[in-house]
A = this chain, B = another copy of it.
């Protein structure tokens, strides 16, 4: 028993493609960090084995005994229950009702806590990234889908049943395109990378979009938001128009959270934001036109600072609490 005996934290960002794991001191200094491919095909027990093995490797790397780990915090996509620690549904992992907290605790003999991946990315940006010290911060990530997390009153806001922050599924165009969630006109169906690629393919199928198609090697299936962004950057007006439309609806979604939540800051991350000024300008224009001045002038709109590390750093931030 020594007063000097340090305690350490583990953060895990479990995604459908990659598992990102970090080991940190109690005050959040990262000592070791690793990223591996998710063995989705192996099913839950295989993936849980991967997580456990990775944690063991990080401990060895940092010279930290298992008994010094205070808590393992894990972020996962999909609806989940933070109290019971059950992942209700994870489309990317093809998981249904997996009691991951219990399974991991049994395997590791360590305390495990879980939260939604977008929530943890928001928490990561709040504790370590762009939103440091902001009382009320909205985080939005725009990539394959559109996710979000809310820091309200300096705390992660979960809502009544861990469902809060689904800004990607707020409606910005009532009769708009069908979303993967089953509704029409969700922000995700209009501004995600998937939506940008879909609009470009639709254009190509209608006989236009030659420049975009050329950049995809003539194969419509290879049209992605990255391809459209490259065409737009080269000045292709059709590609510019597709990106501008996505930006417009993202701006409407941002305007809506500004008028509803009057945040100190809106942090925008994800691959689509890296398209650059065309996206950011569209967002700013809609916010300018559609928000109350007092709320608009208060809300800084800034890029996420942590990139792909937001999730794992958010898990460390959760473990620190």
Contact = CB atoms under 8 A, between A and B. Distances in A.
- Determine how many copies of this chain the complex contains: 2
A158 B294 contact: no
A295 interface: yes
Nearest to A264: B160
A166 B263 contact: no
Given A79-B294, A172-B174, A181-B292, A260 B161 contact: no
A160 B289 contact: no
B252 A174 contact: yes
Interface string A236-271: 000000000000110010011101111110000000
Q: Which of A152, A155, A181 counts the most chain B CB atoms within 10 A?
A: A152
A299 interface: yes
Chain A: number of interface residues, binned into ranges: 35 or more
A171 B172 CA distance: 7
A292 B252 contact: no
A159 B261 contact: yes
Contacts of A201: none
B262 A292 contact: no
A3 to B, nearest CB: 36
A148 B260 CA distance: 9
A261 B164 contact: yes
Contacts of A263: 159-160
A295 B152 contact: no
Given A79-B294, A161-B294, A174-B248, 19 more contacts: A136-B160, A150-B260, A150-B261, A152-B157, A157-B261, A160-B295, A160-B299, A161-B298, A163-B262, A163-B292, A166-B259, A166-B292, A171-B172, A171-B290, A172-B174, A173-B174, A183-B290, A256-B256, A260-B260
Interface of A: 79, 88, 135-136, 148, 150, 152-153, 155, 157-167, 169-174, 181, 183-184, 248-249, 252, 255-257, 259-264, 289-292, 294-295, 298-299
8 contacts: A136-B160, A148-B260, A161-B295, A163-B262, A163-B294, A183-B255, A183-B291, A256-B256
